[in-house]
Amino acid sequence: MSTPMQNQISNITRPDVQTKLSIQDLQELTRQLRLDILQMIFEAQSGHPGTSLSCIDILTCLWSVVMTHDKNRPDWPERDRFVLSKGHGAPALYAILMHEGYIPKEEIHTLRQVHSNLQGHPASKYIKGVDISTGSLGQGLSAAIGMALGLRLNQSPAHVYCLIGDGESQEGQIWEAALSAPAHNINNLTAICDRNGLQIDGCTEKIKPLGDIGSKFESFGWNVMEIEGHNFQQIIEALHRSKSMGQETSKPTMIVAHTTKGKGVSFMENEAGWHGKAPNAEQYEKAVADLQPDVYYQRLREA
């Protein structure tokens, strides 16, 4: 199993728009997106904060750094694809898609309301940037493999990214897909597992232990990398590397991202109870306080 590279990245280039974002920029952006996520869920009084805070750093690296896409051409055939198999992370996806210009910022107030585009789980019917609707766990990885196969048939340079949950990996279909991708020598697929150790009823390792997910995928024929899922340098390195490794090995890649559910809000971190519960006014205020620059960066430094 490979470990992430340790060299310092100062500037990361996004292929299509040539924007340069430093690690500091990404830290600041994801701090703001965390506030957006909490605002959406607080106003809706419904949604999944723990889940969204767990994966927002990964989604931001994908959409703002690694993926090739163009908001002005959302149907561009050569664009990279993303499948949020753990669909309950929708607020995180909406936050980054708002930032990237796929969703009007005003819609931030409409999460989970009747007649809104911001459905509880991402739906292709309502959102540009969502190609496949998700929410029923375990299905997205197979769909991502289908996309990768189709793009290969089209000789497209596009790469497919798919984020799955660790609890989600208790679904048998994940392992059916895990067998399929190497069987088809898929080389244009990167899956990421949000390994936060929690599901709804508690710890994954108490309910139905997943053990070493990385070695499981490795034994199924995948390239595997293990990273810290809130370390931007590691996330970006691994994502870039997965693409070249795919080409070199003709294998799909699994990045096991070790994350903290609820990351950034002290009282939500590592608490299964914050999986799918909206904060009340007092808790929201506390969460917002945790996400003010001084407190937030102080806590990041201590972590």
Ligand X SMILES: Cc1ncc(C[n+]2csc(CCOP(=O)(O)OP(=O)(O)O)c2C)c(N)n1
- Can you give the binding site for another protein, defined by CB under 8 A? 44, 46-47, 87, 112-116, 118-121, 123, 133-138, 167-168, 170-172, 199-201, 204, 207-208
Measured from the CB of residue 217, what is the shortest distance to ligand X in angstroms? 16
Residues 111-140 that bind ligand X (CB under 6 A): 135-138
Is 196 a residue that touches ligand X (CB under 6 A)? yes
Least CB distance to another protein at residue 272 (A):
9
> Using the rule CB under 6 A, which residue among 194, 226, 237, 269 binds ligand X?
194
| Contact (Cβ atoms closer than 8 angstroms) between residue 246 and residue 152 | no
Q: Which one of residues 51, 60, 190, 283 is an interface residue with ligand X (CB under 6 A)?
A: 51
Run of H or E including 105: none
Would you say 90 or 97 has its CB closer to ligand X?
90
47 binds, among Mg ion, ligand X, another protein, none (CB under 5 to 8 A by kind): another protein
Q: Which does 243 bind (CB under 5 to 8 A by kind): another protein, Mg ion, ligand X, none?
A: none
**Minimum CB–partner distance for residue 194 and ligand X (Å):** 5
Per CB under 6 A, the segment of 147-155, 192-200, 224-232, 282-290 that binds ligand X is 192-200
Q: What is the DSSP letter of 29?
A: H
Q: Which residues are within 8 A (CB) of 144 and not within 5 positions of it... i.e. 6 or more apart? A: 81, 83, 85, 160, 161, 162, 189, 191
CB nearer to another protein: pick between 33 and 118: 118
What are the residues whose beta carbons fall under 8 Å from the beta carbon of 230, sequence distance 6 or more?
A: 57, 259, 260, 263, 303
Interface residue with ligand X, options 275, 283, 284, 296 (CB under 6 A)? 275
Q: In whole angstroms, give the CA distance from residue 246 to residue 283.
A: 44
Cβ neighbours of residue 280 closer than 8 Å, sequence gap 6 or more: none
Kindly tell me which residue out of 130, 261, 263, 291 binds ligand X, with binding defined by CB under 6 A.
261
Cβ pair 191, 255 in contact under 8 A: yes
List all residues 6 or more positions away from 238 whose beta carbon is below 8 Å from its beta carbon.
4, 225, 227, 255
Q: Is 130 helix (H, G, I), strand (E, B) or coil?
A: coil
Quickly list DSSP for 41-85: HHHHT-S-HHHHHHHHHHHHHIIIII----TT-TT-TTS-EEEES
Among 27, 30, 39, 54, binds ligand X (CB under 6 A): 54
In sequence order, which ranges of 154-280 are alpha helices (DSSP H)? 172-183, 204-207, 213-219, 232-249
H or E stretch at 144: helix 140-153
Q: Which residues, in sequence order, are CB contacts of 72 under 8 Å at separation 6+?
A: none
Shortest separation between residue 115's beta carbon and another protein, angstroms? 7
* 89 vs 167, beta carbon nearer Mg ion: 167
Q: Are the C-beta atoms of 266 and 302 separated by less than 8 Å?
A: no
88 vs 112 by CB, closer to ligand X: 88
Binding mask 150-169 for ligand X (x = CB under 6 A): ---------------xxxx-
Task: Give the count of residues interacting with ligand X (CB under 6 A).
Answer: 19
Nearer to ligand X, 92 or 151 (CB): 92
Binding residues for ligand X, rule: CB under 6 A, are 51, 54, 86, 88, 135-138, 165-168, 194, 196, 198-200, 261, 275
